[in-house]
């Protein structure tokens, strides 16, 4: 009878460990899919921005022929960002993630310079196409910010989960890796100087 009770206790412990492992693994899969979903939304709004840029550039080009340098820079940066191969592996490679983030930051800076150039052209500022595109681009930049925030929150939750016990043991066995975070662009801690 004692042997039978020991066997039942042993099987109970094994069953409990298997249930804990499965529960932890499923929780990690759910958290990782949440991060991947948030990342897909970040990519979605970046793509929206890439799609809007040619229209904005063409509209400004008609008014600002002498600003060819800024227009060329925006076009070239858009092309280089568009060529970047972005996959879910990017989230597991901090160096590749950093390169992607730097390219997006450069594009944001070039777009800002393009919008500043538009201030020199009163006719452009009153052009309905330009105003609509500018509004869409500003909205897209806000969406990028919101989606990046959501991604960071999901990545933070996931990264904490893979470091907590017992999930950390399941994560190491299951091959779950830490996800990269967005970082502020270098120099963003400095307030921009405004002069008139």
pLDDT at 45: 86
- Do the domain assignments include residue 106? yes
Task: Name the average pLDDT for the chain.
Answer: 79
- Least confident range from 28-37, 121-130, 131-140, 149-158: namely 121-130
- Do the domain assignments include residue 153? no
- Do the domain assignments include residue 108? yes
pLDDT at 123: 65
- Do the domain assignments include residue 22? no
- Do the domain assignments include residue 125? yes
- Least confident range from 27-31, 34-38, 132-136: namely 132-136
pLDDT at 145: 86
3-state helix, strand, coil in the chain (%, to 5): 80, 0, 20
Omega before 153 cis (within 30°)? no
pTM, 2 dp: 0.65
pLDDT of 187 higher than 70: no
User: Higher pLDDT residue, 29 or 109?
Assistant: 29
User: Higher pLDDT residue, 153 or 189?
Assistant: 153
Averaged pLDDT for residues 121-140: 74
pLDDT at 135: 82
| CA–CA dist 110, 77 (Å, integer) | 8
Secondary structure E strands in the chain: none
pLDDT of 196 higher than 60: no
Expressed as residue numbers, the domain containing 120 is: 55-144
| CA–CA dist 26, 161 (Å, integer) | 12
- Do the domain assignments include residue 188? no
- Do the domain assignments include residue 47? no
Q: What is the dihedral of CA 172, 151, 111, 128, to 10 degrees?
A: 150
pLDDT at 195: 41
- In the chain, the number of structural domains is 1
User: Could you tell me if 176 and 162 are in contact, meaning their C-beta atoms sit under 8 angstroms apart?
Assistant: yes
- Least confident range from 120-124, 175-179, 187-191: namely 187-191
- Do the domain assignments include residue 133? yes
| CA–CA dist 30, 15 (Å, integer) | 22
| pLDDT per position as a tens digit, 35-89 | 988 888 888 888 888 888 887 777 776 666 656 667 777 777 777 777 777 776 7
Continuous H helices in the chain: 2-63, 68-83, 94-118, 122-126, 128-163, 167-174
């Amino acid at each position: 009878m004692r042997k039978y009770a020991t066997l039942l206790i042993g099987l109970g412990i094994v069953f409990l460990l298997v249930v804990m492992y499965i529960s932890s693994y499923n929780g990690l899969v759910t958290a990782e899919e949440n991060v991947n979903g948030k990342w897909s939304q970040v990519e979605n709004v970046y793509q929206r921005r890439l799609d809007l840029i040619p229209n904005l550039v063409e509209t400004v080009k008609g008014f600002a022929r002498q600003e060819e340098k800024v227009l060329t820079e925006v076009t070239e940066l858009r092309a280089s960002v568009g060529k970047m191969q972005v996959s879910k592996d990017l989230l597991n490679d901090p160096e590749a993630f950093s390169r992607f983030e730097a390219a997006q930051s450069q594009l944001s800076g070039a777009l800002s310079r393009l919008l500043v150039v538009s201030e020199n052209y009163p006719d452009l500022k009153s052009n309905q196409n330009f105003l609509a595109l500018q509004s869409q681009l500003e909205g897209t930049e806000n969406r990028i910010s919101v989606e990046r925030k959501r991604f960071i929150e999901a990545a933070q939750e996931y990264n904490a989960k893979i470091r907590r016990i017992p999930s950390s043991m399941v994560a190491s066995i299951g091959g779950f890796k830490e996800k990269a975070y967005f970082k502020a662009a270098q120099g963003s801690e400095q307030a921009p100087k405004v002069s008139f």
